Structure 1
Amino acid sequence: MDYIDVAQIVEECTRAEALRRLKASLAEREQQITDPERGVVICLDCEAPIPLERLAANPRAVRCIDCQLEYDREQRHEARLYPGFDDWDM
């Protein structure tokens, strides 16, 4: 296996992961929970109302800013799936 083969595998894995994240994001947006009685959008994680300022900036938000930051940290941690080139046998 040479560097071109490794690069192709990494590119394919990266593309597959990006598509998986995009699909998850789109599915998540469909899960936006509204409380019609109070006229607010509810955070998926902590179930608190999402502030109007956040919804003005991102009308499709499904998490409050604190939960979104934690979710993003977790996603970055999970994204560390790919080994470096030094880890591949060539």
Structure 2
Amino acid sequence: MLRDKGQAEVAGSAYLFSGRLEGSAAYSPMRHVVVRAAGALRTDGRDTTYFRTRQLEVGVGTYWTLGQRWLVGGSAGYGWGQSGRGFQDAYYLWGLGSKTN
């Protein structure tokens, strides 16, 4: 939690079963101002079916301390996301042509 100019916050997480990675960073270049960027990525190629996502977001905001226990803030930003899913024919991947039934 940022409370003064020059402070930064970095966070990251990994979801091992789904293969999703997330990260974010926030920085206060001057008092009461915060800039933030975050992103997420999931690439799952462990099977013949796949689901992929990519997300990015950036924002700017403000924060104000109210006494020792409270911090009030607000932000606005822009985000972008893309996802895709599909199926890969295992016979085609191994160069055996396509499977016909």
TM more than 0.5 = no
Higher relative contact order (Cα pairs below 8 Å, separated by 6+ residues): 1
Tell me which protein shows more helix as a share of its residues. 1
Tell me which protein shows more strand as a share of its residues. 2
Larger Rg: 2
State the TM-score, normalizing by the size of structure 2: 0.29
State the TM-score, normalizing by the size of structure 1: 0.31
